[in-house]
């Protein structure tokens, strides 16, 4: 199992998804190399940056364009579909395309939750429950069909579809849970940062110290990075009178978009997050691999 040298939650979580080769041969879709990045410290950093952009950029677009949440959702949803079309057509992981899709899905997930809350009056408690059930259903169907939730074996179109659907609901759920904690429960933006950061740290300890299942640990952390990033974005962008730093959504979005761009360029050049796993031949199912310890558990 690999983990980063830095003793922070994101670095510790970098090794959560190391896995032995899957024993299930893909039965549907093109044969491709693994389509998602290796889970390293870079993965978690960019993921948090993307979630922050999802919160602040969605708010900024709503303020600047004045199109209304519904029209803005349609526009950003169309952009997401176009980028995902390129992502699905690719036969390998391409950092620029993959992370652009994550940024857009973060924005769309935020807009979906905001639409339900602001335009249709659905309480945040309700949206949190709805998206929790929807995400659980995606995981259940994914596992029932593929017999694995491994992000190291995203090498068929069907598995990739499950992967992106799960990500969409993690962003929508994270937005609802984060807003519920920071606003409705009056916890405050900075306190929310500490709460969600502490929960990620607790998951890290539970995984490495108490052998929490690697699959569960990864996806719990993935969900919690959404409200963590959103709380960071709100804390930086909101007015000082409301408990923020007062940087505004434009400045905050530019800071994080520039950071994402810089890291994606770095990864494109260095290939430090290139996945090692590739699809096995369709006419060969490898023999079962012994799994003696948690660090080899399949994710």
Domain boundaries, the chain: 30-271
Query: 33 — phi, psi (to 5°)?
Result: -70, 165
SS3 percent helix, strand, coil of the chain, rounded to 5, is 70, 0, 30
Q: pTM score, two decimals?
A: 0.79
The answer to whether residues 71 and 22 touch, using CB atoms and an 8 Å cutoff, is no
pLDDT of residue 227: 85
> Residues 90-143: pLDDT tens digits?
988 999 999 999 999 988 988 888 889 888 889 988 999 999 999 999 999 999
Scanning the structure block, which residue is given the tokens 């919690």?
224
Query: 48 — phi, psi (to 5°)?
Result: -65, -40
pLDDT of residue 95: 94
pLDDT of residue 16: 52
Q: Which residues contact 76 (CB under 8 A, 6 or more apart)?
A: 58, 61, 104, 107, 108, 111
pLDDT of residue 188: 81
Query: 278 — phi, psi (to 5°)?
Result: -135, 165
DSSP state of 193: H
Q: Which residues of the chain have pLDDT under 50?
A: 1-12, 18-30, 277-298
């Amino acid at each position: 199992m690999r983990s980063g040298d830095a003793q922070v939650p994101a670095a510790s979580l970098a090794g959560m998804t190391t896995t032995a080769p899957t024993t299930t041969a893909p039965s549907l879709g093109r044969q491709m190399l693994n389509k998602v990045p290796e889970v390293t410290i870079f993965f978690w950093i960019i993921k948090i940056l993307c979630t922050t952009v999802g919160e602040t950029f969605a708010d900024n677009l709503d303020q600047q364009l004045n199109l209304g949440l519904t029209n803005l959702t349609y526009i950003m949803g169309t952009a997401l579909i176009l980028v995902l079309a390129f992502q699905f057509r690719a036969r390998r992981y391409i950092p620029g395309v993959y992370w652009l899709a994550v940024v857009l899905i973060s924005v769309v997930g935020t807009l979906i939750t905001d639409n339900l809350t602001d335009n249709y009056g659905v309480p945040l408690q309700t949206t949190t429950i709805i998206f929790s059930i929807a995400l659980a259903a995606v995981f259940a169907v994914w596992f029932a069909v593929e017999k694995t939730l491994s992000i190291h074996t995203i090498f068929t179109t069907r598995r990739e579809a499950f992967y992106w659907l799960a990500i969409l609901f993690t962003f929508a759920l994270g937005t609802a849970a984060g807003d519920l904690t920071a606003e409705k429960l009056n916890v405050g933006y900075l306190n929310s940062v500490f709460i969600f950061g502490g929960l990620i740290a607790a998951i890290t300890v539970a995984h490495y110290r108490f052998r929490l299942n690697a699959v569960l640990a990864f996806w719990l952390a993935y969900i919690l990075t959404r409200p963590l990033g959103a709380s960071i974005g709100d804390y930086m962008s909101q007015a000082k009178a409301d408990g923020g730093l007062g940087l505004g959504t434009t400045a905050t979005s530019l800071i994080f978009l520039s950071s994402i761009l810089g890291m994606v360029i770095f990864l494109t050049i260095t290939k430090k997050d290139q996945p090692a796993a590739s699809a096995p031949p369709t006419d060969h199912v490898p023999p079962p691999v012994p799994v003696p310890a948690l660090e080899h558990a399949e994710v």
